[in-house]
Amino acid sequence: MKATLLNSFLAGTFLILTSCKNQSSEFKTINADVLRDKIAGGWAGKMIGVTYGAPTEFRAQGKIFTDSIKWKPSDVKGSMWQDDVYVQLTFMMTMDKYGSNAPAKTFQEMFAKAGYPLWHANVQSRKNYYDSIFAPESGRPENNFHADDIDFQIEADYIGFMSPGMPRTAAKLAEKVGHIMNYGDGVYGGIFIGALYSQAFFRNDIPGIIDFALKSIPAESDYYKIVKDVIKLHQHYPTDWQSAWKELEAKWDNVDICGAGSSFNIDAKFNGAFVVMGLLYGDGDPLKTMEITTRCGQDSDCNPSNAMAVLGVLNGFKKLPVSLTKGVLEYKDSVFINTNYSFSKAVENTYNYALGLIKKDSGIVTGKNIKIKTQEPLAPALEVSFPDVVFDQKVTIFEKDPWKFKGKWETYTRKSRTGNEVTKLSQCAQKKGDNAEFSFTGTGVSLTGTWNKEGGKADIYIDNKFDRTIDTYFNYNNQQYGTTSIWHKFNLTPGTHKVRVEVKGEKRAESEGTKINLIDALIFITAPKKNETFKFSFE
C-alpha cells in the first residue's frame, strides 16, 4: 500500500512538472513596452533603409555599386513618398476600415483606388482590378507578367511587425494579400520577409533567424534555394561578400522574366538574396548591413529597407544609433502620401493589431505582460509562376521578316535633342480590321506595347485560335506606361507559333482613342535553367 501511494505521489509530481514544462515552452513572453519599441524599430528601419539606398536604385545592374553613398538623417523625409511604405499602409487602412478578415478583393480595391503611382506587379494588379480581374486571379502568372517581381516582398513588412513569434499567422495574411499582385516566388518573398520579422522579436542570432524563416516557404521553391545558396556562399567566403556576390550573380542572373533580355532584375528571390547577403555579412551593424545590401545593386532601395527593418525589430528603436533615428523622430508625425498614416500612427496601430492577433491565437495579455502562443512555421503548397521558362530573344516590331501588317499602321518616332537622329519607337493602329501577325519558334511569348489614355481594344489569336481581348487603356492619375507587356502566353507546345493582333476599333468609355501600340516581342523556350546545373567554383 505504501509503495502504491509513493508511486502515485511520484507519478503525480512528474505530471505537474511535465505540465509546467510544457506550459513554459508553449508560450513566449514579451513586455508590452518592448513589443512596441521593436515595432517602432521595424518601421524606422524601413524608412531609414529605403532612403539610404534610394539614390542608387537600379544604377547597378549585374554589377556591384562602387560609387559613394551619401545619406543624412533628414533624408528620411523621402520615405513619405516611397512605395515601400505607402502601399502597405493602404493595406493597414483596409484593416482599419474593414477588419483584418476582409476579403482579398477589398484589399485590392483599396490600393487600386489609392492616389499614388504603382509599378510592375502592383500596377498590373491595379489594371486587372479595373479590367474586372480580381484577387487571387489578379496575381496569377497568366494574368500578371510580373508575378515573380519584388512588389509584395517590399510591402509585407507590416504583416511581420504585427505577428511577433507567430509565423503561421503572418503567412496566412501574407498568402491572402500577396496573391493580389504576385504568385509563387513573388508571394514567398513576402512570407519569408514577414517570417524574418516574426522571429527577430525573440532572437538576435541572424543566421538562426534566417534558417527559421526559411521554414515558412517550400523547400522546393527557387526562393528557398537561392537563400540556401547565400548561406552556403557565406560559409565559404565568411569575410568576402564581393566574392560571394560574384558567384551568386553568375548562377542566378537570368531568373527575371520581367527584365528578360536586359541586365534589369526586379525578381523577388534575386533581390531577396541580397537582403540575406546584407544581413549575414553585416554582422548586425546597421550601417554595414545597409551598405552591403545597397552595393549588391538592382532594387537597391527596397533591399536595404528590408534588411534594416530586420535589425530594427531585432534591436528595437531605442537601441538603434541615434544618428540614424533622429531623422525618423523629426518626421514622426508627417503623413505618407495618399494615406492617413504617419510613423507614430503606424507604430501604435501595428502594436494594437499585434495584441489582437496574439489574443486571437490564444495568447494572453495581462497589463504589460504578454504571452504569445508558440507557433511552428508551416510552408504553403508549392507554386511556380513560369516553370522551365528560359528567355531566348527579343524581336522588335520593325524587323519585317517575322511581322506582317495589314491596314494603316503608323510608325511613332522620337528625334534626338540635336534633331539629327530619329529613333523608331512603335507601330500604331486604331481602326477595326487593322492587324499584325508575328511568327516565332518557342514555347512562350510576350508582346510589349503601351498603356495610355488613348489605348483601345484588340483581339489576340494564337495559332488562329482566339485567346482573349486586351484593353490598352490606362490613365490613372495621369500615370501611363510607354513600355509594358500588353499580352503574354506560356506553356505552348515546342515549335513554331503565330500570334495575330486584330484591332477592334473599340474602347472603354474613359479612353480618348482606340490605339494599339506595338514595340517588340520577347520569345521564350522550354529548357533547363542555368541555375539548375550551375556549380559554384568551390563545389
Residues 401, 439 contacting (CB under 8 angstroms): no
pLDDT of amino acid 83: 97
Using the structure block, give the residue that is written with the C-alpha cell 497589463: 367
According to the model, what pLDDT value does residue 15 have? Answer: 39
pLDDT digits (tens, 9 = 90+) for 41-74: 999 999 999 999 999 999 999 999 999 999 999 9
Structural contact between residues 136 and 180, judged by C-beta atoms closer than 8 angstroms? yes
The pTM assigned to this predicted structure is 0.94
- Sole residue written with cell 508549392: 382
Is the previous residue joined to 136 through a cis bond, with omega within 30 degrees of 0? yes
- Beta-strand pair 457-462/465-471: antiparallel
Three cell numbers written together for 199: 522571429
pLDDT of residue 140: 98
Q: What is the pLDDT of residue 18?
A: 38
Instruction: Compute CA distances 126 → 390, 509, 516, whole Å.
Output: 27, 18, 20
The Cα–Cα gap between 20 and 497 comes to: 68
State in words which class domain 25-373 has: mainly alpha
> Residue 289 corresponds to which cell in the numbers above?
548591413
Nearest to 431 by CA among 511, 507, 505: 505
Low-confidence ranges of the chain (pLDDT < 50): 1-24
Compute and round to an integer the Cα radius of gyration of the chain. Answer: 26
Q: Grid coordinates representing 72?
A: 543624412
Can you tell me which residue has the cell 477589398? 106
Angle, CA of 92, 216 and 148, to the nearest 5°: 70
Q: Tell me the residue type at 479.
A: Q
Q: Which long-range contacts link 124-131 to residues 24+ away (Cβ below 8 Å)?
A: 124/181, 125/180, 125/181, 126/476, 127/451, 127/474, 130/476, 131/471
Q: State which fold the 389-531 domain adopts.
A: Jelly Rolls (2.60.120)
Q: How far apart are CA 234 and CA 228, in angstroms?
A: 10
Domain boundary assignment for the chain? 25-373, 389-531
pLDDT for 202-230, tens place per residue?
999 999 999 999 999 999 999 999 999 99
Residue 521 CA to residue 428 CA, distance in Å, equals: 15
